[in-house]
Amino acid sequence: MSNSNYKILLVDDEPDIVEFLSYNLKKEGYEILTANNGKEAVEVAKKELPHLIVLDVMMPDMDGIETCREIREQKGLQNVLVAFLTARSEDYTQIAGFEVGADDYITKPIKPRVFISRVKALLRRLQTPAQEASFQYGDVRIDKEKHSVFKGEVEIPLPKKEFNLFALLSSKPGKVFTREFILDQVWGDEVVVGDRTIDVHIRKLREKIGDEYFKTVKGVGYKFEF
């Protein structure tokens, strides 16, 4: 899929930032949509169904957190990628963003090459064959039908819960999964003993597959990167 096939919606109340980001993304061939506030962003997103929304957190009237929450409630927009654009780096701001469905954070001041790199990394998630039975990341291959994981040519035996946790995290590389979502998807209605159940399983996956693949997002959850 070429860059020209991707729609990116830029939302910021500062026209200079919108113009700056638009210029750099258009040079890469992306189709760009813009909005100056949260309410307008929701309407444009509903009409155009962008692949990615770059959303400023600090906007008057309807801030980015509220805008993201409303976007996630719209039919057809539950899975659109959302990256928050912010000058704030406090943990509580990021936690609030991830809780309403943010996929990433991009901090100001923005360096064009870094910004483009982050956008490309986000859009690669749309190319991930998450629904296929078998797929590979780097030297790690997972086969859902055969319930097997290989690193290189070596098969790595995983108990059911570890496999299900790995399958969930690797289904969307780079996406942060909250602890609550992981518990719901992997353990469901089962009684979970202890608050550190997920942490223990992540530690085991790091030992068996590689520490570099599993990232902790403080106060939120975990993500898989390769």
Clarify whether residues 115 and 154 are in a common domain: no
Clarify whether residues 15 and 123 are in a common domain: yes
**73 CB contacts (<8 Å, ≥6 apart)?**
none
Greater model confidence, 221 or 195: 221
Clarify whether residues 99 and 121 are in a common domain: yes
pTM for the model stands at: 0.66
d(CA 166, CA 158): 9
Looking at 65, 95, 127, which one is the last position of a domain?
127
Q: What is the pLDDT of residues 79-118, one digit of tens each?
A: 799 999 887 665 667 778 888 888 888 888 889 999 999 8
- Average pLDDT taken over every residue of the chain: 87
pLDDT, position 88: 66
CA distances from residue 211 to 153, 156, 204, 206, 214 in whole angstroms, order as listed: 19, 15, 9, 4, 6
* CA 91 to chain CA mean position, Å: 17
Greater model confidence, 1 or 214: 214
Lowest mean pLDDT segment, chosen from 91-95, 97-101, 178-182, 205-209: 91-95
Cite the DSSP H helix spans in the chain. Answer: 15-27, 38-48, 64-72, 91-99, 112-124, 160-170, 179-182, 197-209
CATH of the domain at 93: 3.40.50.2300
Instruction: Give the closest residue to 208 by CA, choosing from 164, 161, 150, 167.
Output: 150
Instruction: Give the closest residue to 174 by CA, choosing from 103, 112, 113, 119.
Output: 103
Clarify whether residues 202 and 114 are in a common domain: no
Q: Is the dihedral of CA 26, 174, 5, 76 positive or negative?
A: negative
pLDDT, position 194: 63
Clarify whether residues 43 and 87 are in a common domain: yes
Clarify whether residues 34 and 96 are in a common domain: yes
Q: Is the dihedral of CA 141, 132, 99, 16 positive or negative?
A: positive
Band (138; pLDDT cuts 50, 70, 90): confident
Q: What is the pLDDT of residues 40-83, one digit of tens each?
A: 999 999 999 999 999 999 898 899 999 999 998 888 887 799 99
Provide the residue range defining the domain that includes 215. 134-224
d(CA 213, CA 210): 6
| 155 bridge partner residues | 150
pLDDT, position 30: 96
